[in-house]
Amino acid sequence: MIPTGTRFGLADRKDLQGLSGRQALEKMLAGELPAPPICEVMNFILHSVGDGEACFMGTPGFSHYNPLGMVHGGWSATILDSALGCAVHTTLAAGEGYTTLEFKVNIVRPVFETSGTLICEGKVTHRGKRIATSEATLKDAAGKLLAHGVETCMIFPAGEA
């Protein structure tokens, strides 16, 4: 699922200077910036970005199971949070940052390692000067909805982080 040779780590701040949020994510897609370590642990990866949109793909495994014999809801929440946040990230100008203020998830079906590769698509529903909201869905390859979520983010000058 994760492309062979994917580099994981944190981008150096100097490599991000002057880049819009979308440009930074596009460099990550091109392998010019590392993918975040959480992607390796959770076995999902950024797949595509657009204006106000971000798509992740992931394959949960046995290591993500909870005691009930299914993938822990935290896996679905984490990939949703990634798509929700990165959708907002695509709207950032150079020098802007963001943080999540509120995050809500609805898990409507259980996920198993046999669920295969899942698709998580996020999109911005509102982008103001200081507040942005986004929504995302998590579906299986057949398009069956497994979970959905919404997020509210605060936008700020990156120096305030």
pLDDT digits 0-9 by tens, 12-69: 889 999 999 999 999 999 999 999 999 999 999 999 999 999 999 999 999 999 999 9
Kindly state whether residue 41 falls inside one of the protein's structural domains: yes
Give mean pLDDT, residues 92-113.
Answer: 97
Give residue 13's pLDDT. Answer: 87
Instruction: Indicate whether 2 belongs to any domain.
Output: no
pTM: 0.95
pLDDT at residue 40, as a whole number: 96
Domain assignment of residue 60, yes or no: yes
Residue 109 located in a structural domain: yes
Please, how many CA atoms are within 13 Å of residue 61, restricted to the half-sphere of its CB? 8
Long-range contacts (CB closer than 8 Å, 24 or more residues apart) made by 68-72: 70/110, 70/111, 70/112, 71/110, 71/111, 71/112, 71/113, 71/115
Tell me if 46 is assigned to some domain. Answer: yes
56 is in which domain, residue-wise? 13-160
Mean pLDDT of 106-112: 98
Q: Which amino acid is at 35?
A: A
Domain count for the chain:
1
Whether residue 1 lies inside any domain: the answer is no
